[in-house]
Amino acid sequence: MNGLEEENSRLRLLLAGAVLDSAMLREVSGKSSEVCRQPPDSCLSAGDVRGQGEASLF
């Protein structure tokens, strides 16, 4: 395997991990937003985290 193929497979693993993280955050997002009733600036909801993660992928 040359360097380019190694990099390609590594990036695929990273992308797969990001997709799994995003799916897990979607499952949790409803529960987190119910638990968290603080002022917006002191409370980061799972929806906010998911949005930032998806934006950074593309």
56 vs 31 pLDDT, higher one: 31
pTM of the entire predicted model: 0.40
Residue 50 confidence (pLDDT) above 70: no
In tens, the pLDDT along 19-42 reads 888 877 777 665 555 545 555 555
52 vs 13 pLDDT, higher one: 13
Give me the chain's average pLDDT, please: 67
Name the nearest CA neighbour of 47 among 37, 36, 33: 33
| Distance in angstroms (rounded) separating the CA atoms of residues 5 and 50 | 29
Residue 53 confidence (pLDDT) above 90: no
| Distance in angstroms (rounded) separating the CA atoms of residues 1 and 35 | 48
